[in-house]
Structure 1
Amino acid sequence: MKEAAKGYVKHLESGGKMMVALGGAMSTAELGISLAEMIRQDKVHAISCTGANLEEDIFNLVAHDYYKRIPHYRELSVDEEVALYENHLNRVTDTCIPEEEAMRRIERAILKEWIEADQKKQRFFPHEFLWKVLQSGKLEPFYQIDPKDSWVLAALEKKVFIVVPGWEDSTLGNIFAAHCLLGHIHDPLTVKTGIEYMMALAQYYQETTKKHSLGLFQIGGGISGDFPICVVPMLHQDMQLENIPLWGYFCQISDATTSYGSYSGASPNEKITWGKLAKETPKFMIESDATIVAPLIFAYVLES
């Protein structure tokens, strides 16, 4: 962990830029408290996140006081789980997200943006729709945490580049599909797709690496990390472009068991064979709890 933190600082000091990939339930774990400051201090320049992490930062922003902690979550009986369901409390490990105060409140606000764009035949990325809601000020009366602790707000302020692969499987993605099926939204392509996110990422990667080495700091496993790291072999191998720099730094925090055949559990060296990392790329695999490790590394970077 210490070497990964030092490597992060060295990458930035040498003129590099950093993308953070957010998997797991890091927004509900309130990573925004430290990630937002990392964004404000130009220690994070791009973000790849799951749809859940995108929306759950805003759920926490407007419904924090309604969240329910379940410290004994490992001991819950099936009947206790049913009771949480009947009270519209959606559990993420030891924290329950309240449906009405979080999900439905955001649904009401973002649905207006979706319908308006649909009627005007306009199209935006998932994060751009959330930014529109935040910029409108509609949610400000409902803020229940200090806005400086929201990483999505910080990203909006700094105009950080964001990709949200697989947004369709998020709560808001499900809600959007439901409104398409109900006929409230006529064109499902009103929300731009993951393929378009990859195309935007390809442009961002090429422009950024003309002057800066780009690193990937990956929290958790899955699509939020696999999606962005694949942009390099796509540009080089699939598009046959020359002089595409490989990622200049790589760190993954994961509790996945090291294994071959899975992305999350593969060792960083396996990525060399895919044309993602170079032999000399600083590579770190931290097998631990990201809710503990990530804030510690961010604290180190912020103090350096």
Structure 2
Amino acid sequence: MQVTDFIKKHYKHFNAASLVDAAEAYKTHLDTGGKMLITLAGAMSTAELGIILAEMIRQDKVHAISCTGANLEEDIFNLVAHDFYERVPHYRELSAADEEALLSRHLNRVTDTCIPEEEAMRRLEHVVLKYWEKADKAGESYFPHEFFYQILLSGELEQYYQIDPKNSWMLEAAKKNLPIFVPGWEDSTLGNIYAGHVISGDIKNVHTMKTGIQYMIELADFYTETATEESKIGFFQIGGGIAGDFPICVVPMLHQDLQRTNVPLWGYFAQISDSTTSYGSYSGAVPNEKITWGKLGRDTPKFVIESDATIVAPLIFAMVLDM
């Protein structure tokens, strides 16, 4: 039995039914000429979502991505250092002393997975620093994902690959020059490292790295050029946080601040979230709240699956891919 057949047979009610509805509406949105932006919060790259997200990119089921700086870099960490990762299935039982022991071994824990500092973070730092310094000396500036695209396409990291490269979503995105938007990139390991190199004087011009406001301008241009009434852009949100909050605001900005009233609203909205609906919670807010902010319309297809994205996202993507 295929994954899609299994899901349609057994997923009949509640969050399971919402999963099916969101996946089928995703397919309908694409089949009728729409495009899709996916947002990645949490630690989805360390959760190895790239195994199926890379295939989504290859098959043109994703047309843009908004993600945290952590998700941007952690897909590449996994690409070059996978064999050095350590899984800690008993992470709920770790004491403070156990955590300190991991620190002494330079293992940075993300729930049940430890990222090795030297083989992942420092290995990538040694390579990316050369690209930062080269751009800095040439008076050039690039976005964080553009630096990664340069590195991945150069082949310089191939000697370190420790997973099948077809399972790296960043590598597939680089091949397609997929639009990526990374709000708050400085809140990431390499963002911290970049700041350190600016402070130490290795990078002379902090603006060698383009960041937030420039990303919003880039997103506004992308949305204006891409979205039409015949080909609206959908919004598939994994988790909450800045990865989702940042890009969805581009529509009211275009309408209210730039008076581009001919630009359509988002044409589809789905969110996978375990955030509880509560007072003042954006991640837990029901989709209709976004109508009042000029982000979604009354008739926009809207879905919320209240569950773990590491379980739900691969299932939805499998349905979109007809697996």
Query: What is the TM-score when the length of structure 1 is the normalising length?
Result: 0.99
Aligned length: 304
Q: Tell me which residue corresponds to 1:229.
A: 248
Write out the 4+ residue segments of structure 1 that deviate beyond 6 Å after TM superposition.
Answer: none
Offset at 1:260?
3.4
Give the letter for the 1:101 counterpart: E
Write the mapping of 1:195-214 to structure 2, written as runs, cut at 5 A: 195-210=213-228, 211-214=230-233
The alignment partner of 2:83 has SS state of helix
Q: Tell me which residue corresponds to 2:316.
A: 297
Q: Tell me which residue corresponds to 2:265.
A: 246
Does residue 151 of structure 2 align to residue 137 of structure 1? no
Aligned counterparts of 1:212 and 1:241: Cα–Cα separation in 2: 17
Q: Tell me which residue corresponds to 2:128.
A: 110
Select 1:255's aligned residue among 249, 253, 274: 274
Give the letter for the 2:162 counterpart: Q
Q: Tell me which residue corresponds to 1:156.
A: 174
The alignment partner of 1:217 has SS state of strand
Give the letter for the 1:287 counterpart: E
Q: Tell me which residue corresponds to 2:200.
A: 182
Q: Tell me which residue corresponds to 2:81.
A: 63
CA RMSD, aligned part only? 0.8
**Greater mean alpha carbon deviation, residues 156-165 or residues 120-129:** 156-165
Offset at 1:134?
1.1
| Amino-acid identity (%) | 69
| CA deviation map 1:222-247 (0-9, x unaligned) | 00001110000000011122212000
Aligned counterparts of 2:100 and 2:220: Cα–Cα separation in 1: 45
Does residue 55 of structure 2 align to residue 53 of structure 1? no
Give the letter for the 1:134 counterpart: L
Aligned counterparts of 1:27 and 1:46: Cα–Cα separation in 2: 16
For structure 2, which runs of at least 5 residues remain unmatched after alignment? Answer: 1-18
Aligned counterparts of 2:160 and 2:253: Cα–Cα separation in 1: 42
**Greater mean alpha carbon deviation, residues 185-194 or residues 239-248:** 239-248
Aligned counterparts of 2:76 and 2:138: Cα–Cα separation in 1: 26
Offset at 1:217?
0.4
Asked if the contact 2:36–2:62 (Cα under 8 Å) also holds between the matched residues in 1, the reply is yes
Give the letter for the 2:142 counterpart: F
The alignment partner of 1:105 has SS state of helix
